[in-house]
């Protein structure tokens, strides 16, 4: 059984063989009352269990942090303020339902789900069909919505860190507002704030990003230039943070979250950051990233990404240096990474990640 937990709603479901097998059960969260919130969590899983064709073997779900995820203890939450002082949510559910219970950060599970059954295999399948020998094993997942989340999958393994707080992208420095963290420019509230500032409209009256997107697209009446700039700044700030992360991860990038639907407005600025330059004193420049980044949701960029740059290096060309060697080696001089939107959908990817994580732990004999 799975759960996608947010500050507003809880969405419960169940998976078997990598597929959803029951109708999603949605319940409003109760952010200010711990007892009521816990009862709703229990009730949501109880309803899902009642519709499962066979008894579930585990519970695995995403829950906001900070948290000690391996032990299932939730810390002091901002969007669910009733959680304070360390609430043993995992053990509560495990004892109530009598099955192993696993929890993780939503950004981590989003990345894991896209690595198992979404963006990563999608890209590798495209490469195979294009007769390109390159394959990818590492993935940086980012979610842009209420906040700016992240997750890292390295060679099929979810990387969570020693304190269960790896890939906390939201805490990177904000390029545009250097005294703030980047989430203040990469989130729903950031889009509304910029639109309010540039349009002169009071923040309380500023529309939600979905409406700002329509204004930018010319579908709704409003300040079009302010709307476009709000998403452009989001793209620049997100691109800066992702570029910094890629210097360590060196893998594909998949983007999800509620604002990913506005990709056409923020992706150009994001890609410009990834493929930008650093300038040295004297004017000499170098690429910001060692790899060239490609937008895999753009047809021409995707085609360029899929083209193989492999050429043969003949060792026999160096026969005078190292005698009696005649073999050749394939060599592609262009390092490349691909960036694209979730192939599963954010909630589905989180559920897939939770499902795969539970199976992995059960296979290792770990029950909590």
- What is the pLDDT at residue 326? 67
pLDDT band at 368 (very low <50, low <70, confident <90, very high): very low
Higher pLDDT: 361 or 226? It is 226
107 has pLDDT over 60: yes
Q: How far apart are CA 31 and CA 147, in angstroms?
A: 17
Q: Omega into 274 within 30° of 0, i.e. cis?
A: no
User: Hey, which bits of 206-358 come out as E strands?
Assistant: 252-256, 277-279, 285-287, 292-295, 311-314, 328-331, 336-341
Domains of the chain: 2-104 (3.30.420.40), 110-299+335-346 (3.30.420.40)
In contact, 252 and 120? CB cutoff 8 Å: yes
- Tokens, residue 355: 């499902």
The pTM for the full model equals 0.90
Higher pLDDT: 106 or 153? It is 153
- What is the pLDDT at residue 331? 79
296-326: per-residue pLDDT in tens?
Answer: 999 999 999 999 877 887 776 666 666 556 6
- What is the pLDDT at residue 363? 83
How high does pLDDT run on average in the chain?
A: 92
**What mean pLDDT do residues 88-95 have?**
96
- What is the pLDDT at residue 349? 92
- What is the pLDDT at residue 231? 98
227-269: per-residue pLDDT in tens?
Answer: 999 999 999 999 999 999 999 999 999 999 999 999 999 999 9
**What mean pLDDT do residues 90-102 have?**
96
pLDDT band at 49 (very low <50, low <70, confident <90, very high): very high
367 has pLDDT over 70: no
Q: What percent of the chain stands above pLDDT 70?
A: 96
């Amino acid at each position: 059984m799975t759960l996608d937990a947010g500050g507003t709603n809880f969405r419960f479901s169940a998976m078997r063989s990598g597929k959803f097998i029951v109708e999603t059960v949605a319940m409003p969260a109760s952010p200010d009352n711990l007892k009521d919130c816990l009862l709703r969590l229990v009730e949501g899983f109880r309803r899902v269990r009642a519709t499962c064709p066979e008894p579930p073997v585990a519970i695995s779900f995403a829950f906001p942090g900070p948290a000690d995820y391996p032990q299932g203890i939730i810390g002091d939450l901002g969007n669910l303020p009733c959680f304070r002082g360390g609430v043993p949510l995992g053990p509560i559910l495990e004892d109530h339902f009598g099955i192993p219970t696993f929890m993780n950060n939503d950004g981590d599970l989003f990345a894991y789900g896209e690595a198992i059954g979404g963006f990563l295999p999608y890209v590798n399948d495209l490469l195979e069909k294009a007769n390109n020998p390159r394959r990818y094993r590492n993935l940086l997942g980012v979610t842009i919505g209420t906040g700016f989340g992240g997750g890292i999958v390295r060679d099929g393994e979810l990387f969570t860190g020693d304190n269960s707080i790896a890939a906390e992208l939201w805490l990177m420095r904000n390029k545009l507002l250097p005294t703030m963290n980047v989430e203040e420019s990469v989130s729903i509230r950031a889009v509304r704030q910029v639109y309010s500032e540039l349009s002169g409209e009071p923040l309380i009256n500023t529309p939600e990003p979905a409406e700002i997107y329509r204004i930018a697209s010319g579908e709704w009446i409003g300040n079009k230039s302010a709307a476009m700039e709000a998403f452009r700044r989001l793209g620049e700030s997100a691109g800066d943070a992702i570029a910094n992360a890629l210097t360590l991860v060196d893998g594909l990038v998949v983007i999800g979250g509620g604002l990913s639907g506005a990709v056409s407005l923020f992706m150009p600025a994001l890609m410009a950051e990834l493929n930008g330059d650093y300038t040295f004193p004297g004017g000499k420049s170098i690429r910001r990233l060692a790899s060239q980044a490609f937008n895999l949701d753009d047809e021409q960029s995707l085609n360029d990404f899929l083209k193989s740059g492999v050429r043969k290096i003949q060792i026999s060309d160096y026969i005078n240096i190292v005698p009696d060697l005649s073999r050749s080696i394939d060599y592609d001089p262009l390092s490349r990474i691909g960036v694209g939107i979730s192939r599963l959908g954010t909630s589905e990817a989180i559920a897939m990640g939770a499902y795969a994580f539970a199976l992995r732990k059960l296979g290792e004999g770990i029950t909590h």
